[in-house]
Amino acid sequence: MSYASLLCPQVFLSEWKENKVVISQLTKPELKEDFLHGLKMLKALQSKHVVRLLGYCEKQFTILTEYHPLGSLRGLNETLHIPKYKSMNTWHRRLMLAIDYVSIIRYLHSSPLGTLVMCDSNDLDKALSQYLLTSDFHILVNDLDALPLVNRSAGRLVKCGHRELWGEFVAPEQRWPYGEDVPFDDDLMPPYDEKTDIWKIPDVSNFFLGHVEGSDIVRLHLFDIHAACKKKDPAERPSAQQILDTYKKVLTLLIREAAMPSTREML
């Protein structure tokens, strides 16, 4: 089930006060510290961007959250092909989902706790599994157990786990920098900051945009900001706020253009 995100707990669908709810219960005692950290994050970050926490029992390692029947974002394309939701399968709605996603990253980077990095995102499928799709087609972050804190003033950077990371989805600074001849050693692996999340935004947004009529026009308008996200030097990448501002400007521009007969055919 797509809700099984918090450290692979047992997950149950239940009812409470005549509403369906999700019960997550830890099954591996050795992961209790991570589980409690996830609960701490869930409590501290309650907002419109985060799945609603309804209750918890620390002694029982149990968390009660709101149920969202459409599940994780991994099933987005399948959901959009259900007759009930086919009207949502437009460039406009898909761009709105991308805006929701970047809004969540912006929130995490400027959260009440400080700058948090979304570490459970080493490939596209894993990244999508951290989020839920609501019935009114908005996005909520659901998995908060791997959110290390960046504190530049204290010289604190982060590392997402203690294993070697591979692939183009993760940022260059997350990959082993010393070549194949030097065996991976976590102690030698340099730490990094929240700009790893920025590197991944174009790939996640590309998934959101899909291949519907008008989506390539949206991609064209986002080309420059996405190219900036892929700068090798993390310091040269834009902030989540700058990306969000650009996405919103593009949405406004394209809505305006779509209303004009001369450009309506392009979209």
User: What CATH number corresponds to the domain at position 86?
Assistant: 1.10.510.10
Q: Which of 101, 236, 98, 109 is nearest to 172 (CA)?
A: 236
pLDDT for 13 equals 82
Phi-psi group of 18: left, alpha or beta (phi > 0 → left; psi -120 to 50 → alpha; rest → beta)? left
The answer to whether residue 205 sits within a structural domain is yes
pLDDT for 37 equals 87
pLDDT for 229 equals 98
**What is the extent of the structural domain holding 204?**
70-257
The answer to whether residue 174 sits within a structural domain is yes
CA distance 123 to 161: 14
pLDDT for 103 equals 98
pLDDT for 176 equals 97
pLDDT for 28 equals 85
Domain count, the chain: 1
The answer to whether residue 36 sits within a structural domain is no
Q: Which parts of the chain register pLDDT below 50?
A: 1-6
The answer to whether residue 21 sits within a structural domain is no
The answer to whether residue 169 sits within a structural domain is yes
Q: Which of 227, 234, 174 is nearest to 205 (CA)?
A: 227
pLDDT for 263 equals 54
pLDDT for 266 equals 57
pLDDT for 41 equals 95
pLDDT for 6 equals 45
pLDDT for 4 equals 44
